[in-house]
Amino acid sequence: MVAMPIYTLNLIQYITLIFLSVSAGYILHGIVRAIKDGTFFD
C-alpha cells in the first residue's frame, strides 16, 4: 500500500517532464523559425 502513492508520484513527474520537454521543443522551434523569417525582432 505504501508503494502506490510513490509510484503515482513518479508517474506524474515523468509525464510532466515529458510534457515540459515537448513544450520547450515547440517553443524553441517557433523561435528559430521566427528568427529565420525575420519576424522575431519586429
Q: How does pLDDT run across 1-42, given as a tens digit for each residue? A: 566 666 677 888 999 999 999 999 999 999 999 888 887 665
Give the pLDDT confidence score for residue 24 in this predicted structure.
96
Q: Into how many domains does the chain fold? A: 1
State the residue range of the domain holding 24.
1-42
pLDDT at 2: 60
pTM check: above 0.85: no
What are the CA-CA distances from residue 13 to residues 5, 9, 35, 39, 41 (Å)?
A: 12, 6, 33, 35, 35
Write down the pLDDT at residue 22.
96
